A = this chain, B = another copy of it.
Amino acid sequence: MKAYSEMTHEELTALKSELEKAYEDAKGKGLKLDMSRGKPSPAQLDFSAGFLNAISEGDSLLAENGTDTRNYGVMDGIPEAKKLMADIMGVKDPESVIVCGNASLNIMFDTVSRSYTHGVNGHTPWCRLDKVKFLCPAPGYDRHFRVTEYFGAELITVPMTPNGPDMDVVENYVNNDASVKGIWCVPKYSNPQGYSYSDETVKRFAALKPAAEDFRIFWDNAYAIHHLYDEPEKQDNILDILEECRAAGNPDLAYVFASTSKVTYAGGGISAVASSPANLDWIKKSMTVQTIGYDKVNQLRHVRFFKDIEGVKAHMKKHADSMRPKFEAVERVLEEELGGLGIGSWTKPNGGYFISFDSLPGCAKAIVAKCKEAGVTLTGAGATFPYGKDPEDKNIRIAPSFPSPEEMAQATDLFVLCVKLVSVDKLLENA
């Protein structure tokens, strides 16, 4: 294929009218597809049908330590759920885990909120500070950014690389600016690129020398076990951040978050936070005011369903088998239709829920709008950057999980058509 940039004005004009015709045809198909959010498909949710029967009438609802899960108490989770979540998160000690309700986003929100209202481990509450800055590796997860934006933090974009955030930039901010209080990380199969942080990146995180004693790493290990292939590639086996922080003499530097939202049910899973004893003590101080305890029956249901981490791994293979063809369908269409054209690049993740696509600068919004007009909903352009503003207007997050493989291929066909059309327009406009 000839790269668009090498086409003459005449060639581009001819191509444009051809693409416009194809687009009108596509619109006529009445598509109605959603690639906007990282939602499991109904087929994936069906894998957990047995989960509903994991505890039935007549079964004991006592936890292994004798706790009646039906009653009040045990604020930080039943022991077997701590163990399961520790194994899912890749955290060694179950005692460093607090199991919470159905959403890790809620734990992260509460963690930021607590820092804002009561500070971090005895330091000044953020609401009493003139300025709080938060580092946002981008493209990244919009809901992370919004939490800190909601609490008035200044969001600072840190460039992402295939090895994780640009650590020179991170170190420069964290080690020199005491108003920098945290950083959002999705260390494994990152949202949206599917990148996993290299060992060097994790070690550099653990070895940070923050100017602010209350600086924390928000390590959202959302896709810890969400592989697309049976055996995760070596580079996707990220280091244990808590262990690395301890080894580097920074035991309180990181919070690790995870949930089973994309393991059992997105609407009915369990979530957890893991951290150092000092951090957990501080968290529990506010939790004890906030709640008597989270849903322990659902914690027990998870343990009874999976038995242990091996059960979870076997279950995640089903998810992989369901997701893989969709990712591959998207990648195949992208490669076939856009390969060599020089109008877009994309990631090829080994796990996670997303593919990150970069168009020519200044095209992402128009591509998303074109897709929408023809019935395919994508994540809003810009969403992957702080304040929803992509400075180059080029990143688009593709979420292949929810539609069927056939729908996914249809949607991607339309997507590449829109990429071509908008790119031609842009090149003609710039000519």
Residues of chain A touching chain B, judged by Cβ–Cβ distance below 8 Å, are: 37, 39-40, 42, 45, 48-50, 52-53, 55-59, 61, 68-74, 101-103, 105-106, 109-110, 113, 116-118, 125, 127, 143, 146-147, 150-151, 261, 265-268, 286, 289-298
**Chain B nearest Cβ from A34, distance in angstroms:** 11
If A268-B297, A290-B109 touch, does A58 touch B49 (CB 8 Å cutoff)? yes
Q: Is the CB–CB distance between A105 and B37 below 8 Å?
A: no
**Chain B nearest Cβ from A75, distance in angstroms:** 11
Q: Is the CB–CB distance between A291 and B106 below 8 Å?
A: yes
Contacts of A266 in B (CB 8 A): 70-72, 292
Most buried by B among A48, A267, A292: A267
Q: Specify the main secondary structure of chain A where it touches its partner.
A: loop
Q: Is the CB–CB distance between B292 and A295 below 8 Å?
A: no
**Chain B nearest Cβ from A310, distance in angstroms:** 22
Residue of B nearest to A106 (CB): B291
Q: Is the CB–CB distance between A101 and B295 below 8 Å?
A: yes
If A117-B151, A150-B286 touch, does A292 touch B45 (CB 8 Å cutoff)? no
- Complex Cα gap A289–B298 (Å): 24
Contacts of A147 in B (CB 8 A): 289-290
**Chain B nearest Cβ from A39, distance in angstroms:** 5
If A103-B291, A265-B297 touch, does A45 touch B57 (CB 8 Å cutoff)? no
Contacts of A268 in B (CB 8 A): 69-70, 295-298
Residue of B nearest to A402 (CB): B71
Most buried by B among A70, A72, A116: A70
- Complex Cα gap A113–B114 (Å): 9
If A56-B53, A116-B117 touch, does A71 touch B40 (CB 8 Å cutoff)? yes
Q: Is the CB–CB distance between A267 and B45 below 8 Å?
A: no
Contacts of A290 in B (CB 8 A): 105-106, 109-110, 147
Residue of B nearest to A103 (CB): B291
If A52-B55, A151-B117 touch, does A109 touch B71 (CB 8 Å cutoff)? no
Q: Is the CB–CB distance between A102 and B294 below 8 Å?
A: yes
- Complex Cα gap A316–B277 (Å): 42
**Chain B nearest Cβ from A309, distance in angstroms:** 22
- Complex Cα gap A125–B57 (Å): 47
Most buried by B among A37, A52, A150: A52
- Complex Cα gap A143–B293 (Å): 13
Contacts of A106 in B (CB 8 A): 290-291
- Complex Cα gap A103–B290 (Å): 9
Residue of B nearest to A266 (CB): B72
Q: Is the CB–CB distance between A57 and B68 below 8 Å?
A: no
Q: Is the CB–CB distance between B70 and A267 below 8 Å?
A: yes
Of B101, B110, B261, B295, which one neighbours A72 at CB under 8 angstroms?
Answer: B261
Residue pairs across A and B with Cβ atoms less than 8 A apart, 10 shown, are: A40-B71, A50-B57, A52-B57, A53-B57, A72-B267, A74-B267, A113-B117, A117-B117, A150-B286, A295-B298
Contacts of A71 in B (CB 8 A): 39-40, 42, 45, 265-267
**Chain B nearest Cβ from A206, distance in angstroms:** 29
If A40-B71, A101-B102 touch, does A267 touch B289 (CB 8 Å cutoff)? no
Contacts of A127 in B (CB 8 A): 117, 125, 127
